Each structure stands twice: as structure tokens, then as C-alpha cells.
Amino acid sequence: MLNNSSDVIIVGGGVIGCSIAYYLAKKGVKSIVFEERQFASGASGATAGMITPLWHIDHTNKDLFEMGISSLLAYPHLVAELLDFGANPEFHQSGVLKLALTTEEVAILMSNLVWQSALDMGVKWLSASDILNQEPGITPRILGGVFSPTEGHITGKHLVNSLVQAATKLGVIFFEGVEVTELKIEKRKVTGVRTTYGSFDTNHTVLATGPWTGLANRWIPGSLPIRPVKGQRFTIRKNGFILNSVVHTFKGTSVPQANGDILIGATREEAKFDNNITVDAITEVLLNTHRIFPGLHDAIFVDSFAGVRPGSPDNMPILGPIPGWNGISIASGHDWAGVMLAPSTGEMMAEYIESGDSSHLSTFLIDRF
């Protein structure tokens, strides 16, 4: 018989919600996760899956950068745990190659190399000939680039499904295709949720609902500072064309897939709340890809995917309690970095929920606004 109560209820079955459930379960804290559609049906499924904090997180933002590096270092251990549960999230520590096609881009990469080298993570400059030896399909017009060997990529949908499989074995209950219609509120305390499957009680509810977290009056009176940011990405294939590393330019990214396909993208479209694939996006992404890999002019178009990411006013995650409310917290606002920051987010939120102490979340608390 189903127990309609749990220590924690998590609303949202993307990578953030499922990571929190997994790390809570490792601490012995039981949770129920509700996903209105399918797991990883939003941004977690649309992501290119890059684990690249050296390129995509501002190193001068100390706390956020440390969060990114902690996640990067945590991924091999997390993946080993998930494999022990019989789940393969398809993590590839392939390294990331950042290219320079102009003298201005060379100067930027050289400047970045100063602080990146100090991290002792093997980051190094490669000449154009070195790059062409490593990735023969790249245009000979390149002037050089930087290679970061410890970074890589993961398949977002496989990661979410792996977390679901592992956390289920640890006692988490997952509901797919079940909508949370409203929160149960007594005065200013959230005591549970009402769903299309019934009513559930809890001591703590986590909103990990991505861009839907910011819908006015959807969860609590008023609105939370989360906005939609749409991204579109595409997959192409050419027999005989192999990409060994993630290749990142100043205009886009190409990510090798286990089956030989190449995932390319992604766009960034502010305030867009739809999953439509547009001609403008296809043109933008494919033209950039052809500029970098001229041999892909006759590649096969495999598929496309769009998702809506949760943005925040300062482009940092919002984690922890909501001021003036009890029994509820938020984990959203990761924008393009949800998969990249998932291990750190899961661990930090689990620590807060178990202990009630949010001091380690100070930089990411909602009251910074």
C-alpha cells in the first residue's frame, strides 16, 4: 500500500530534482519525486551535457566556480556509484578543445591560460598542427587553441535515468506523468502537495521545477525570480568522421556521441517558453559547424531538440529556503549549467535539508535579491 507521506517531496524530475533525491537517499532521507511529464523531458534532455566549468563558469565568481570544479571532480565518483547500481549515465572525460580563429581570440585564450594553468589540471596551449593531429576534421584556418584534459560531457537523459534507477534502489519513490496541482499550505507553512494521483504530506517540499518555478502564483503567492531561456541543439552524422573531444569555439560547441553522431549547439533565446525548432536556429548552428568542420557539408541531419532552461537575475543558481515560508525550498536558476552543477547542487541541498543549516548556501540564497 502506498504511503502518502515522506520526509521530503521534490517537485520536478529533471537532473536537479533527481540529484537531490539521490544525495538525500545516500544520507538515509526518504523522498518522493513528482514529474508532470517524463523524466528529463525538459532542459535536462535537451542539454549538450558539457561538464566544462573552466570554459563556462566565471572564475572570478569564487563560490560558483568552486561549485563547478567540485562537480567536475565529483563526476567520476558519482558515475562509478551509478555503474554499481547497474546504470550507465554515459560520462566521457574526453577533454575539451577551445579553438581560436582570430588573433583576438588567441589573446583571450592566452589570457585565460594564465589562471587555468595555475589550477594544475593539465590545461595547455596547442599549436594549429597539434590540433589538426588530434582532430583532423577541423579547418586549417585555426591559429591554435587550448586543451583541457579533465573536462568532458555526459548524456543528460541517461544521467537522469541513472539517478532515478539508483535512487529507487535506495528507497526513493518516483512518479512520472503525475502533476503537482498545488501546494498544501497552512498559514505560511507548506505541509505537502496535491497531485493528480492524490494528496501527499511532508515536512519539506523542494521546488526543482526549472523555468516553471518562476510562474506567478503557481506555487506560492507572488512570483520567484526565475525566467525561461530557450535553447535548441541538433545532431548530425557522417560516416567515417570521428570527433575525439568536445570542440568549443566562441560561437558554438560540438560534442561527440558514443554512437559516432555529433551533437551541435546550442542557441540561447531569452524569454522563450516553447519547444519549437526554428529555421533561424538551424541556420545559425549549422553555419558555425560548417565553418569549423568543412568536411561536414554533406553530413546527415539526425534530429533536433529544444528545451527551456531556468535563468536567474544574476545567472547563478537559487538554492535553499524561501524567506517568510516554512517547509519549502527552491533549487532552480542553473540556466545552461544544470547538468554541470548537478552533483554539487544535490550534495549541498541534501546537506541543508538534513541539517536545517543553510549557511553553506549563503551565496546562492534567494534573499540576495
Distance CA 73, CA 343 (A): 9
* Confidence band, pLDDT 50/70/90 cuts, at residue 1: very low
* pLDDT of 3 above 80: no
Percent of the chain with pLDDT over 70: 99
Out of 3.30.9.10, 3.40.50.1360, 3.40.50.1220, 3.40.30.10, the CATH code matching 93-151+228-311 is: 3.30.9.10
pLDDT higher than threshold 80 for residue 2: no
Could you read off the pLDDT of 7-28 as tens digits, one per residue? 999 999 999 999 999 999 999 9
Per-residue pLDDT tens over the stretch 263-275: 998 899 998 899 9
Q: Is the pTM of this model over 0.95?
A: yes
Burial (CB < 10 A; 0-12, 13-18, 19+), residue 13, is buried
Question: Which regions of the chain carry the CATH code 3.50.50.60?
Answer: 5-85+156-226+313-368
How confident is the model at residue 195, as a pLDDT? 97
Task: Kindly report, as residue ranges, where domains of CATH 3.30.9.10 are found in the chain.
Answer: 93-151+228-311
The CA–CA distances, whole Å, from 172 to 21, 28, 30, 352 equal: 7, 10, 6, 18
Per-residue model confidence as pLDDT tens digits over 128-184: 999 999 999 999 999 999 999 999 999 999 999 999 999 999 999 999 999 999 999
CB atoms within 10 A of CB 181: 11
Cα distance between the two ends of the chain: 44
**How does pLDDT run across 230-251, given as a tens digit for each residue?**
999 999 999 999 999 999 999 9
Those residues whose C-beta lies under 8 Å from the C-beta of residue 16, and which sit 6 or more positions away, are 44, 208, 210, 331, 332, 334, 338, 342, 345, 346
Q: How far is the C-alpha of 79 from the C-alpha of 117, rounded, in Å?
A: 26
130/213 Cα distance (integer angstroms)? 46
Residue 205 confidence (pLDDT) above 80: yes
Q: What is the pLDDT of residues 51-99, one digit of tens each?
A: 999 999 999 999 999 999 999 999 999 999 999 999 999 999 999 999 9
Confidence class for position 199, pLDDT limits 50, 70, 90: very high
pLDDT band, residue 324 (cuts 50/70/90) = very high
CATH architecture for segment(s) 5-85+156-226+313-368: 3-Layer(bba) Sandwich (3.50)
In this prediction, residue 111 has a pLDDT band, given cuts at 50, 70 and 90, of: very high
